[in-house]
Structure 1
């Protein structure tokens, strides 16, 4: 895996400021502490395909689930090239971003003494949009498309990205997205879970170990990730472990911050659910056929509310299907992008050919304003907007 990446990509690990305006409680000292994000940028440097017509390029942003980190996507960065070759696709990779949310991975290390008790999932989506904008924009390549891929919590954030920045991504691919999950009823509609469920989750989130052997044993036998692909699991173990001066092991994500991910879905989910009909790009939802983590109503909601939603079931897949069956997920991702490219109408915009003079811009604005006026200025019955 590592050799494939080194032979085909220029990899840069970067640090950038997280979005400063965050939900109250996101930082320990509100409006004083600022958070940071760590992400990897992979720029494709492999053999360039000579084609008679311009190849379409794809930028990827991968968003991990609760308790995970950006290293879970390295398998995808490496082996997507093999599947693309097998399927003889007519598109190429431009850039790939994998990022650690502020409470996870290397970001958590940088923010360790600043993190508060409210990790709003929408804040993570704002961070994702900021990183994507910094790396993907501006562009003059009219044949380049941006694709966001997210698993579980990352699936929620992928959808939220399309609400927050409607034109940033052209295609969204979700793997077992978490949006609608029942909680203990309360007047504030926040996430409240029963103590028994809390304790069951807490037991899977141990963050301190006597040595590396104990940590590996836990990850392979008792953690959420014990059924993961061996390459992915070993990379997670290697990436997540911090060797202390005392010779013990601690994880980059703390037990408390890990748990907070499961306590902060609502009320933000209510905002996202209300916004789903306004997502206008194609959304491809990969679902595990035997997964029980999300209730059936979760998928029914996405199918009914998102205009261009396509449900794709992996029959034997569980909630962690992206870790346990990454080959199948990668095949579905490549197939969906190929279908999207084949069905897209590509026309080079005059404004993206290079330098545009002020006179050209003024002419373009007048044409666009005239079209917009025709659409928005009309006679008809006056009604109040429906609330």
Structure 2
């Protein structure tokens, strides 16, 4: 595998919901890893860019193992299954990881999940403003992948701006709630609050916590190692050395509890999705209620429910506990999107049908529109199939 990686920062979405920052004018920062291939990609080939969003309590490096392996698979691919992975981003939510350190003193007590989707889009626009590496056009496609809370982010980002994303892959995403699940989560959150620890007296204690007692103890060893190395910091408190997690207990609990603000609204948006969705769950997952799976898959229009996967034996942290299965699914979906996009180009891009002759494009498209032939107008995406 051949790629570069650098740690960068971007402005977060602004303005934010009341309570999301201590002061209304506080500006937040997003810290992220950016990966870039060193492989030479043919000019006319379709290349893929991937954006990864983590779940509550985790950080950008939980995706490192998956990203490395995807680069390896891409660069080893050949023939009809050849695909190109160009750029990747994995970012820390504003209250987690290095973003939390950058935003210290500014983070409020409210964590709006919908703002995470807007943060993802702000990050992509920042990258395009500064590097042009995340265009979504005839030769460059952006796929957003998220787990749990991050899965919620990518679905909302796809709703807010389906033009900058090719498709989204929510993995064990929290996309559903009802009265019974809300009651269950309230009890569960109280238990979680009693179990969460963010400060330790020794390095041995914090390592033991992560590897033997935390939610993360069943992670793939390499994924857990990457996550821990990016999460544990050493600080001096009252003259003593302490070991802490970058995401504070308060920030994690705020993320959990504030799902009640965003999930019910997001449920109403699923029928309005207008880009391909690949819905992935762990078959043994019990964080989301069982009824959430049919709800999500029936709410998304059939035209846009591009693929569904139930990972055998997978639980809620399936992306990190069974990363090999997750990698296989992601490569399979990328190849599907590569094939599907070839068929979609004529409907999505007039310049593909008619070349880059601006006058010809405008003449033909306006002609169809003024004649009421809306099913022929590029951009209507099959919304109309008869004349007015």
Q: Which range moves more in the overlay, 341-350 or 256-265?
A: 341-350
Q: Superposition pairs for residues 328-343 of structure 1, below 5 Å? A: 328-343=325-340
Secondary structure of 1:58 counterpart:
strand
What's the offset of the Cα at 1:139? Answer: 4.1
Q: Superposition pairs for residues 110-189 of structure 1, below 5 Å? A: 110-136=102-128, 139=135, 142-182=138-178
Q: Which range moves more in the overlay, 340-349 or 8-17?
A: 340-349
Q: TM-score, normalised by structure 1?
A: 0.85
- From the superposition, tell whether residues 41 and 220 of structure 1 become closer, same or farther in structure 2 (CA, over 3 Å): same
2:91 equivalent in structure 1:
99
Q: CA separation in 1, counterparts of 2:209 and 2:185?
A: 25
Q: CA separation in 2, counterparts of 1:323 and 1:351?
A: 41
| Pick aligned residue for 2:4 from 6, 10, 14 | 10
What's the offset of the Cα at 1:144? Answer: 1.5
1:247 pairs with 2:214 = no
After superposition, give the CA deviation of every residue in 1:86-141 in whole Å (9 maximum; x if it has no partner): 65432101110111110110000011211111110110100101112232557496
Q: CA separation in 2, counterparts of 1:323 and 1:200?
A: 23
After superposition, give the CA deviation of every residue in 1:200-240 in whole Å (9 maximum; x if it has no partner): 11134210000111000000011110000101111111111
What's the offset of the Cα at 1:145? Answer: 1.1
1:59 pairs with 2:49 = yes
Q: Which range moves more in the overlay, 121-130 or 172-181?
A: 172-181
1:78 equivalent in structure 2:
68
- From the superposition, tell whether residues 340 and 196 of structure 1 become closer, same or farther in structure 2 (CA, over 3 Å): closer
Q: CA separation in 1, counterparts of 2:21 and 2:249?
A: 17
| Pick aligned residue for 2:288 from 271, 282, 294 | 294
1:215 equivalent in structure 2:
206
- From the superposition, tell whether residues 199 and 97 of structure 1 become closer, same or farther in structure 2 (CA, over 3 Å): same
| Pick aligned residue for 2:36 from 32, 35, 43 | 43
1:280 equivalent in structure 2:
274
- From the superposition, tell whether residues 237 and 203 of structure 1 become closer, same or farther in structure 2 (CA, over 3 Å): farther
1:285·1:312 contact (CA, 8 Å) conserved in 2? yes
The CA RMSD over aligned residues, in Å, is 2.7
Q: Superposition pairs for residues 355-370 of structure 1, below 5 Å? A: 364-365=361-362, 367-370=364-367
Q: TM-score, normalised by structure 2?
A: 0.85
- From the superposition, tell whether residues 298 and 194 of structure 1 become closer, same or farther in structure 2 (CA, over 3 Å): closer
What's the offset of the Cα at 1:279? Answer: 1.0
Q: CA separation in 2, counterparts of 1:341 and 1:351?
A: 19
- From the superposition, tell whether residues 86 and 128 of structure 1 become closer, same or farther in structure 2 (CA, over 3 Å): same
1:322 pairs with 2:313 = no
| Pick aligned residue for 1:312 from 269, 294, 309 | 309
What's the offset of the Cα at 1:196? Answer: 4.1
Q: CA separation in 2, counterparts of 1:194 and 1:172?
A: 26
| Pick aligned residue for 2:16 from 12, 17, 22 | 22
Please list every run of 5 or more consecutive structure 2 residues that lacks an aligned counterpart in the other structure: 376-388
After superposition, give the CA deviation of every residue in 1:135-184 in whole Å (9 maximum; x if it has no partner): 25574962211101010111111110111102111121121111113457
1:70·1:100 contact (CA, 8 Å) conserved in 2? yes
1:233 equivalent in structure 2:
224
What's the offset of the Cα at 1:370? Answer: 4.0
- From the superposition, tell whether residues 87 and 318 of structure 1 become closer, same or farther in structure 2 (CA, over 3 Å): farther
What's the offset of the Cα at 1:193? Answer: 6.6
1:192·1:263 contact (CA, 8 Å) conserved in 2? no
Please list every run of 5 or more consecutive structure 1 residues that lacks an aligned counterpart in the other structure: 186-190, 378-387
What's the offset of the Cα at 1:320? Answer: 0.2
Secondary structure of 1:345 counterpart:
helix
What's the offset of the Cα at 1:192? Answer: 7.0
2:382 equivalent in structure 1:
none
1:56·1:90 contact (CA, 8 Å) conserved in 2? no
Q: CA separation in 1, counterparts of 2:368 and 2:13?
A: 36
